[in-house]
Structure 1
Amino acid sequence: MTGEQRLAGRTDCFSAGHIMVADTGRRLRCLVWNMSDTGALLEAGDEDAVPETFTLLTAIDQTSRRCRVVRRTGARFGVVFADA
């Protein structure tokens, strides 16, 4: 199945962000490629350190969102917002 599965259209934003890992308190820098009301495409240099669930802090709108990884491609990964 290769069709579009997103619930909302994404907007390019190319902004800085931080991944907050709840278990360890670790903070990882990431790049937010695009975002919608329901999810985002992120990139992190150390993709192995990114857990399946985390809190994303975004510089573009100064908000935090609970995220769940739904797709990984190398250092890039798609997430859905848990509260969307």
Structure 2
Amino acid sequence: MNYGPHQWRGDFQFNISRYSQQQLMETSHRHLLHAEEGTWLNIDGFHMGIGGDDSWSPSVSAEFQLSAGRYHYQLVWCQK
């Protein structure tokens, strides 16, 4: 991923936003958000499913669960 002079490499999910996670959690409606100074980069190394194989079961299939006690991933951040 490239953003301005920055470059990130690795297996990860990311989000770039004008809003902090705190503001997103505390604001009830989109029209109440206000752009904050700077840019917020959120990096997620792993994701687990949130629902089951059907609409009435909350269970996550075993293949989509994060069950290890510890996880490791590598991210490289450099300037061009």
TM > 0.5: no
Q: Compare the two structures and name the one with the higher strand fraction.
A: 1
- Higher-Rg structure is 2
Q: TM-score range by the shorter chain?
A: under 0.3
Q: Compare the two structures and name the one with the higher helix fraction.
A: 2
> Scaled by the length of structure 1, what TM-score is found?
0.22
> Scaled by the length of structure 2, what TM-score is found?
0.23
| Greater RCO structure (CA 8 Å; 6+ sep) | 2
